[in-house]
Amino acid sequence: MVCIGLLNTKSKTVHLFKNNISPFRIVRRLVIFLRFTFFSALIIQGQESLSTQEFQRKMVRELTGGVPIQGTLDVLRERSTPEQRRITANYLCRTLHSIGLAANRHDYKMSNSFFLLDFFFAPMQGTNVYSIIPSTEPSEEYVVIGAHYDSEPGSPGAGDNASGVALVMELGRRLTQMDSRKYKYVIAFFDQEEDDEVGSRAFAKKLMQCGINVHSVHIVDVIAWDDNDDGMIELQSPSKKLEQLYLNAGNQLKVLLKVVGGASSDNLSFLESGFETVGVFSDDLTPHIHKPTDTYDTVDFDFLERSTDLIAHVLKSMNVNGSN
């Protein structure tokens, strides 16, 4: 995949020596380096042994400010301001590393949703984080699995969308453990969904520009609430091919699925760009959405795990049978 590597990938190089570096700075950097190595080793060791639910609970807790992010002193109460989103993007990169994946950044700038705003305000800018899991057999087809990581101002965003991020990261973890992969997988975390899906629009645009052969796009959002304990999952505007795959998986896992039209999240960006897309959501909308009460305690982790299993099953069946 030549072009996805061109998605404005930033690799940060830490230069140990700069001009006029003092012995104090060398010692300080050495301490930082050792601390980073120590914590990274701890994180990697820790992540591998966690069950799905433990892993997802840990991620949602860290993303919603329940505890400081592991290895740092940063506490994320929400993920709305540029600084909070920067910390979150760094956290996602570290978590991708911890599950054995290389993290890439896609920095973008986009015009505002209403053209007159361009004259008075700066352009929208942010960073999508993504990782590519290679196929085990020759393939140039990509399956994109994504969730947005930003939250509405004033809301911790546990359901919207730390839950989706935890789901996608867990899928990344499972995909790396698969012995054979027919497709290449892009694990993507989009910025600024709450701002008119700017991050995913930039990502879809880049995929189009690069002429990437995208098999399908699976977008997960607000997947943390089950009002009536029926475990029902909503599929938004799936293509015929994906609808059949999900319905088959639902039948096999005894998961209720509801197919609806429209697109209320990042799936809109990919639908508009003409990709085979499905949006995966909780059928019951959390009453805490965009509110300060959208906290860790309101997330239904059993439901989240069942949803993860469903998508994992779909990906596995695609891998075994193909879907064309």
Partner 1 sequence: MARIRISDSTFSLVLLFSFVPFMVKAVSYIEAGNYVPFLVMDIIGLPLIYGFYYGKAWTVNWLKTWAIIMIVFGALRLALGGLVMFSHVGIEAAIINQVNLLFIALCLGYIIGGIYLLRNASRVLVLAD
Residues near partner 1, by CB under 8 A: 80-82, 109-113, 115, 117-125, 150, 152-153, 192, 194-196, 198
Question: Which is closer to partner 1, CB of 152 or CB of 305?
Answer: 152
Helix axes 301-321, 240-253, angle to 10 degrees: 120
Distance CA 112, CA 119 (A): 10
Neighbours of 36 (CB within 10 A): 14
Residue with smaller CB distance to partner 1, 177 or 209: 209
Instruction: Please report, as a single letter, which amino acid is at residue 185.
Output: Y
CB of 31 to partner 1, least distance (A): 33
Is 62 or 152 the residue whose CB approaches partner 1 more closely?
Answer: 152
CB nearer to partner 1: pick between 143 and 198:
198
Q: How far is the CB of 304 from partner 1 (least distance, A)?
A: 25
Nearest to partner 1 of 6, 102 (CB atom): 6
CB of 183 to partner 1, least distance (A): 30
Q: In the complex, what is the shortest distance from the CB of residue 282 to partner 1, in angstroms, rounded to a whole number? A: 23
- Closest to partner 1 by CB, 80 or 298: 80
Q: How far apart are CA 63 and CA 129, in angstroms?
A: 15
- Residue 248, SS3 per DSSP: helix
Rounded CA separation 282/231 (Å): 8
Least Cβ distance, residue 165 to partner 1 (angstroms): 17
User: In Å, what is the CA distance from 316 to each residue of 124, 189, 248, 259?
Assistant: 37, 21, 12, 21
Residue 117 CB, shortest distance to partner 1, in Å, is 7
Specify whether the CB–CB gap between 289 and 230 falls below 8 A: no
Q: How many CB atoms lie within 10 A of CB 76?
A: 23
Return d(Cα 205, Cα 269) in angstroms, integer.
9
Classify residue 243 by burial, with Cβ atoms within 10 Å: 0-12, 13-18, 19+: middle
CB of 116 to partner 1, least distance (A): 10
Place of tokens 């639910």: 53
Name which of 122 and 320 has its Cβ closer to partner 1: 122
Q: Quick one: tokens of 321?
A: 């049978």
